[in-house]
Chains A and B, each alone.
Chain A
Amino acid sequence: MADLTSNFIGIKSPNPFWLASAPPTDKEYNVRRAFEAGWGGVVWKTLGEDGPPVVNVNGPRYGAVWGADRRLLALNNIELITDRPLEVNLREIKSVKRDYPDRAVVVSLMVPCTEDAWKAILPQVEDTGADGVELNFGCPHGMSERGMGAAVGQVPEYIEMVTRWVKQHSRMPCIVKLTPNITDIRAPARAAHAGGADAVSLINTINSITSVDLDLFAPEPTIDGKGAHGGLCGPAVKPIALNMVSEIARSPDMYGLPVSGIGGVTTWKDAAEFMALGAGNVQVCTAAMTYGFKVVQEMISGLAQYLDEKGLALDDLVGRAVPNVSDWQHLNLNYITKAVIDQDACISCGRCYAACEDTSHQAIDMSEDRVFTVKDDECVACNLCVNVCPVEGCITMKRVEPGDTDLRTGKVVSAQSADWTSHPNNPMSVRAAE
């Protein structure tokens, strides 16, 4: 079995699966159960400054998006940072870290944007023996209305300033957790990098309203007839998170900046995808909140099996797909494929036909006895039929080999790669001097 031991910015854990800062890591009881179940590490739920504890709503704090069979695709929450006294959390962190020295224990922090506030809390965290801190610049509800969380994460100058304070007043590794509620994730990541962050983690939750109660005419979750936007997480946000992680990983000016991947990691495969796009480890919340801590066992066995099959070490996986994340303009326009329907696997539902005939390129033929075939002279290889087909592997895209003719254009497929930058229709195309 592959060795899953992880070393993320010097923080060691038996596997790269950490629980994200969230309700599952709010107290010692949960964290001990998580470690017993096999989690490699936790980021303890965000601590605030000493003083009167944070107050939460007393009505529902979660909303949900479901798929078929009521599968939970996303959660949204309006919970704030920990509402337990600072001293209690610190004592429990110390106790857990003492008993689980091989697991990663990182402490999430969110205090007001003053140097004194950060200067005060850092030594207290250091005293617990925790492995590092994560700066919560991402929480998009409640705390952001008070100038913390996402309110800081949306201003790169603040990120840099606070990160600098943390590095100045503590020797602990510092991870900066980023909010996705911005236009370009690279700006806050650069700010964290400039401030001396050891790593960034992303994404935090996305501003969202999951649904509207059509009797009360109020967003859900509804508190006494009103609702507020919450932060969305879970499988539905994974594509957004993957893109943001890759944007940072492929930025030359942030080369080597470690990333902790967060956002909808539910299976070993999700984790492997984040890691291939540059994440050094992953953090999980919704999968644990949906299925319990035991879900990590599948992540461990699956990732180990995958690495074994590929003959890769864990570190080999990290960033392996980054060189292949490109811009549209560099994609090979001479790479031509056609959809192929496996007639043995086809169950004749006709969804591919409806999708293609009504909304795409009229490239699928339907016979009177419901046999569906691709018209190669019409197919533009959009992939929609593959995406709507309910049978995995039934429709696939097959390459038209160089030298063969693309029946749609009547042209022989070139073996040469050619992209938009050199295309004759591109007024900006770059051509060799005549």
Chain B
Amino acid sequence: MDAKALAPGIQPGRLDKAGIEAGFSDLHPALDDHEALVAADRCYFCHDAPCATACPTDIDIPLFIRQIATGTPDAAARTILSQNILGGMCARVCPTETLCEEVCVRETAEGKPVEIGRLQRYATDTVMAQYVHPFERDALTGKRVAVVGAGPAGLSCAHRLAMMGHDVVIFDERPKPGGLNEYGIAAYKSTEDFAAREVDWLMGIGGIELKSGMALGRDLTLERLTAEYDAVFLGMGLGGVNALGVPGDDRDGVVDAVDFISELRQAPDLTTLPVGRNVVVIGGGMTAVDAAVQCRLLGARDVTIVYRRSQSRMAASRYEQELAQAKGVRIICNASPVAVHGNGTVREIEFAYTGDDLTPTGETFRLPADQVFRAIGQTLAGVGLPDLDGRKIAVDGTGRTSVKGVWAGGDCASGGDDLTVTAVAEGRDAAIDIHTRLMEQANG
């Protein structure tokens, strides 16, 4: 072990280039043709299949797997993409172990589900490699729709609207489109710039204009959008991050996990990205796992996730928890932060053990830390938004908000479970409702 690996503080280059590349390679490498046929062969083509019911975008999974098995992955991709235009990314990031694969009858029979996620990737990769967009636009309607946010919900909504003949302008705050696909998920789930390639491919439908660097509340107002466009879809996600709210949480080295992941995803060379020797991640969701695992992959010596309730209540799936543990991340449960200690810069973080109802047991402990990540949830930022339901924009089943002509979906809208695939479904369904509404208006 060289000195860099043990160096205290937040340092770049803890691992050499080879070590970084090995760690950040594809988490689930693509299936080759033979593997795909063997995997597809295991599907029983169930009636009213549990996997399809479990899919938030209602992909006809048995059909697409049968299409792979019969040598037509293009047709399989069409089956997938007609329901979920971001089927390529969902194949990579969906927690299939808690969705389609969890309910696969072969999971019941043998404890080994059909590899639905990887088969979906096989089909969608096949089509995307052809550089031909598989869908065409219907006759143009002359209607214009504004979409705020170029993440999964906004892209899905925009694509479906464009397909149905409407012209769409997407506004996004960041320099690149893709939302959390581009800035938010672990790098080993979206290798070789997949998020950006997928957006390029999606835009191949035509009729979608992207305006980046445009934030709602800063460069745009809802009033102006509703005045200038025939409909508006809000899919800007959650901009704010919850605070720790404990003494010392403003010390140097205490940062938001989403910012770290975003910086990591955009870093041209990961050997130059600094990371602590002792890292503590506070939270229990996918973001916590993505941040913790990537810290380990950058060479952090000790990485600990601390979650305030019991492990079974962590929002990260069992698979994700095991992935973290396999990568050497320690998970401590039933502990809440009470103070961040240090002299300007964080040195230790103190926790109190808690019961599942968060009552302190009276016992505390300290973990050495030179980097602390907050991953305790995000909040909706912005003013002048439609009515809220709790902390998110209130929507009905088709995404309609309290403001006429304004729909919302994805993480910023109420309901759903903050998954990429749910955002895609909500964007698509809102687009269909927008279309219906606009056509009713057009036909008087």
A residues sitting closer than 8 Å to B (CB atoms) are: 69, 267-269, 291-292, 294-295, 297-298, 301-302, 305-306, 345, 391-393
The residues in B between 21 and 74 inclusive whose CB is less than 8 angstroms from any CB of A are: 33-34, 37, 41-42, 45, 47, 62-63, 66-67, 70-72, 74
The residues in B between 101 and 118 inclusive whose CB is less than 8 angstroms from any CB of A are: none
B75 at the interface (CB under 8 A from A): yes
| A69-B42, A269-B71, A302-B72 known; A295+B47 contact, CB < 8 A | no
16 inter-chain pairs at a CB distance below 8 angstroms, sorted by A residue, are A69-B41, A267-B66, A269-B70, A294-B63, A295-B66, A298-B63, A298-B70, A301-B72, A301-B79, A302-B67, A302-B71, A305-B75, A345-B34, A391-B34, A392-B34, A393-B33
Partner of B45, one of A69, A291, A391, A393: A291
Given A69-B42, A291-B45, 6 other A-B residues pairs in contact with their CB atoms under 8 A: A69-B41, A301-B67, A302-B72, A306-B72, A392-B33, A392-B37
Are B66's CB and A305's CB within 8 A?
A: no
Residues on B with C-beta less than 8 A from A391 are: 34
Residue of A nearest to B79 (CB): A301
Residue of B nearest to A304 (CB): B75
Bound Cα distance from A302 to B72, whole angstroms = 6
B78 at the interface (CB under 8 A from A): yes
Chain B nearest CB, measured from A275 CB (Å)? 16
Chain A nearest CB, measured from B109 CB (Å)? 11
Are A267's CB and B70's CB within 8 A?
A: yes
Bound Cα distance from A298 to B71, whole angstroms = 11
> Considering the complex of A and B, which 3 residue pairs feature the smallest CB-CB distances, nearest first?
A301-B75, A267-B70, A291-B45
Residue of A nearest to B63 (CB): A297
Residues on B with C-beta less than 8 A from A268 are: 70, 72
| A291-B45, A294-B63, A295-B45 known; A302+B70 contact, CB < 8 A | yes
Residues on A with C-beta less than 8 A from B71 are: 269, 302
Chain B nearest CB, measured from A304 CB (Å)? 8
Residues on B with C-beta less than 8 A from A393 are: 33-34
Residue of A nearest to B41 (CB): A69
Bound Cα distance from A295 to B69, whole angstroms = 13
B residues sitting closer than 8 Å to A (CB atoms) are: 33-34, 37, 41-42, 45, 47, 62-63, 66-67, 70-72, 74-75, 78-79
Residue of B nearest to A269 (CB): B70
Residue of B nearest to A267 (CB): B70
Bound Cα distance from A291 to B46, whole angstroms = 7
Bound Cα distance from A306 to B34, whole angstroms = 21
Bound Cα distance from A277 to B66, whole angstroms = 24
Chain A nearest CB, measured from B112 CB (Å)? 12
Bound Cα distance from A268 to B70, whole angstroms = 8
Number of A-B contacts (CB under 8 A): 45
Are B34's CB and A298's CB within 8 A?
A: no
Bound Cα distance from A392 to B67, whole angstroms = 17
Residues on B with C-beta less than 8 A from A392 are: 33-34, 37
Residue of A nearest to B75 (CB): A301
Residue of B nearest to A294 (CB): B63
Residues on A with C-beta less than 8 A from B42 are: 69
Chain B nearest CB, measured from A292 CB (Å)? 5
Chain A nearest CB, measured from B65 CB (Å)? 10
Most chain A Cβ neighbours within 10 Å, of B37, B62, B70, B71: B70
Residues on A with C-beta less than 8 A from B34 are: 345, 391-393
Bound Cα distance from A397 to B112, whole angstroms = 36
| A268-B72, A305-B74, A393-B33 known; A298+B67 contact, CB < 8 A | yes
Residues on A with C-beta less than 8 A from B62 are: 294
Residues on B with C-beta less than 8 A from A302 are: 67, 70-72, 75
Bound Cα distance from A391 to B45, whole angstroms = 23
Most chain A Cβ neighbours within 10 Å, of B41, B62, B75: B75
Residues on B with C-beta less than 8 A from A291 are: 45
Residue of A nearest to B60 (CB): A297
Chain A nearest CB, measured from B119 CB (Å)? 14
Bound Cα distance from A295 to B75, whole angstroms = 14
Residues on A with C-beta less than 8 A from B79 are: 301
Residue of B nearest to A302 (CB): B72
Bound Cα distance from A268 to B74, whole angstroms = 14
Residue of B nearest to A347 (CB): B34
Residue of A nearest to B37 (CB): A392
Bound Cα distance from A297 to B67, whole angstroms = 9
Residue of A nearest to B62 (CB): A294
Chain B nearest CB, measured from A396 CB (Å)? 14
Chain B nearest CB, measured from A351 CB (Å)? 15
Are B47's CB and A292's CB within 8 A?
A: yes
Residues on A with C-beta less than 8 A from B41 are: 69
Bound Cα distance from A291 to B45, whole angstroms = 6
Residue of A nearest to B76 (CB): A301
Chain B nearest CB, measured from A37 CB (Å)? 11
Bound Cα distance from A269 to B71, whole angstroms = 9
Chain A nearest CB, measured from B15 CB (Å)? 31
Bound Cα distance from A69 to B106, whole angstroms = 11
Residue of A nearest to B34 (CB): A391
Residues on B with C-beta less than 8 A from A295 are: 45, 66
Bound Cα distance from A187 to B37, whole angstroms = 41
Chain A nearest CB, measured from B48 CB (Å)? 9
Partner of B78, one of A269, A301, A306, A345: A301
Bound Cα distance from A391 to B70, whole angstroms = 16
Residue of B nearest to A309 (CB): B74
Bound Cα distance from A301 to B71, whole angstroms = 11
Residues on A with C-beta less than 8 A from B72 are: 268, 298, 301-302, 305-306
Bound Cα distance from A292 to B62, whole angstroms = 12
Chain A nearest CB, measured from B19 CB (Å)? 28
Residue of B nearest to A287 (CB): B45
Bound Cα distance from A301 to B37, whole angstroms = 18
Chain A nearest CB, measured from B256 CB (Å)? 46
Bound Cα distance from A161 to B67, whole angstroms = 45
Bound Cα distance from A292 to B75, whole angstroms = 20
Bound Cα distance from A294 to B52, whole angstroms = 14
Bound Cα distance from A301 to B67, whole angstroms = 8
Bound Cα distance from A297 to B62, whole angstroms = 11
Residues on A with C-beta less than 8 A from B66 are: 267, 295, 298
Bound Cα distance from A244 to B112, whole angstroms = 42
Residues on A with C-beta less than 8 A from B70 are: 267-269, 298, 302
Bound Cα distance from A306 to B67, whole angstroms = 12
Residue of B nearest to A308 (CB): B74
Residues on B with C-beta less than 8 A from A294 are: 45, 47, 62-63
Residue of B nearest to A303 (CB): B72
Bound Cα distance from A198 to B47, whole angstroms = 37
Residues on A with C-beta less than 8 A from B47 are: 292, 294
Bound Cα distance from A361 to B277, whole angstroms = 65
Chain B nearest CB, measured from A297 CB (Å)? 6
